[in-house]
Amino acid sequence: MSFSEIFRNYNWDDIKSRIYSKTSQDVENAISKPQRNLEDFMALISPAAAPYLEQMAQLSHKLTQKRFGKTIQMYIPMYLSNECQNICTYCGFSLDNKIPRRTLTEKEILSEITHIKAMGYDHILLVTGEANKTVGLEYFKKAFRLINPSFSHISLEVQPLDQHEYEELIPLGLNTVLVYQETYHQEDYKKHHPKGKKSNFDYRLETPDRLGRAGIHKIGLGVLFGLEDWRTDSFFTALHLQYLERKYWKTKYSISFPRLRPHAGGLTPKVEMTDRELVQLICAYRIFNEEVELSLSTRESNKFRDNVIKLGITSISAGSKTNPGGYANAPESLEQFEIDDQRSPAQIAEMLTRQGYEPVWKDWDRAYGGG
Ligand code: SF4
């Protein structure tokens, strides 16, 4: 059974009302149990859990240290292209935004590599819009051949691909694929993706299954907070995670927490997610799942990132540029979204060290992994 089939058995409104009817007793039970299920996760993300934030934070901190030690993985995005044939209401690269478009040439990719390596990185996240004719499998293959010799971990955040395409990229160095559903609310998904291939909800929903079958090392899940009720969307993310972990048990998983950020032609969030609520969610994921990696990008502020490091996060980016060619200097192409934490990787490393954490610049070595 694929995840789409499982997903059809759930009703958004029903899940939402179950989350909102959780009681303080449900929360206390969830906190005190040795293992938690999806019902407990619902309690932990419910409004009833708000007064238990301190307790949840302590437990989340403890579980994270037990599994991951005092380390934080460091990664940096490299935007290869801002060409996109989709309209997404929340994104600066949307087809209807009249911005200068560019796709990096081989020479420009090499130049970005030089700048990123100089910052100390060994884990890179490649990002593009969705322009299949110019930035499709052949382009990715060329990019991987250039990038692979310089990085020990390559992640990809691009349009969903077919299984055979992932299978062709894995031997070229592909380790991780991030594919966020944006929202599991099907009607709202349609509203936010009115044009282009991304409007196909099911194809996106089934992407982690294609990745699992392709034998990928790690899959990153998440939704974009601000589009719909964050609690219900997070339940569906956790449901997806649990399904994938059971079916593709050799694969590792991570969750990201993007909140809507300002961008060209910006969308006002339908649902505001406060800092306290984001902390609650990070802790809830950790208490629910001790293995999953939790990632926080430079979308968030310095203060927020500094404070949540200890609560369950296991990987962060630093010094990020969200425009193609941004490191080797390309001021003319617009960013996908504004970043908040503008500190350099060295400043972030120093902040981590001050808090007693060790920044880890790579978490994967082919000598051990055989990839
Ligand atoms: S979110 Fe992705 S697919 Fe949508 S407009 Fe932005 S780059 Fe394109």
Read off the pLDDT of residues 227-261 as tens digits, 9 standing for 90 and up.
999 999 999 999 999 999 999 999 999 999 999 87
128 C-alpha to ligand 1 centroid (Å): 8
pLDDT at 364: 52
pLDDT at 298: 86
User: What type of residue is 113?
Assistant: I
- Ligand 1 neighbour 91 (Cβ under 6 A): yes
Mean of per-residue pLDDT scores for the chain: 93
User: Residue 144 — pLDDT band, cuts 50, 70, 90?
Assistant: very high
| 355 pLDDT higher than 60 | yes
From the alpha carbon of 198, which atom of ligand 1 is closest?
3
DSSP string covering 126-157, please?
EE----TTTSSHHHHHHHHHHHGGG-SEEEEE
- Ligand 1 neighbour 277 (Cβ under 6 A): no
130 C-alpha to ligand 1 centroid (Å): 6
Strand stretches in the chain, DSSP E: 71-79, 123-127, 153-157, 174-178, 218-221, 252-256, 293-296, 315-317, 358-360
Q: Which of 94, 197, 333 to mutate to test the pocket of ligand 1 (most atoms within 8 A of CB)?
A: 94
- Ligand 1 neighbour 131 (Cβ under 6 A): no
CATH class (in words) of the domain with range 3-364: alpha beta
pLDDT at 368: 42
What residues have CB less than 8 Å from 341, skipping those under 6 apart?
298, 300, 301, 302, 305, 318, 348
232 C-alpha to ligand 1 centroid (Å): 23
338 C-alpha to ligand 1 centroid (Å): 15
Of 90, 82, 129, 85, residue with least CA distance to 266: 90
Q: Specify the pairing of strand 71-79 against strand 123-127.
A: parallel
pLDDT at 108: 95
- Ligand 1 neighbour 129 (Cβ under 6 A): yes
User: Residue 367 — pLDDT band, cuts 50, 70, 90?
Assistant: very low
- Ligand 1 neighbour 88 (Cβ under 6 A): yes
| 332 pLDDT higher than 80 | no
The residue ranges of every structural domain in the chain are 3-364
- Ligand 1 neighbour 90 (Cβ under 6 A): no
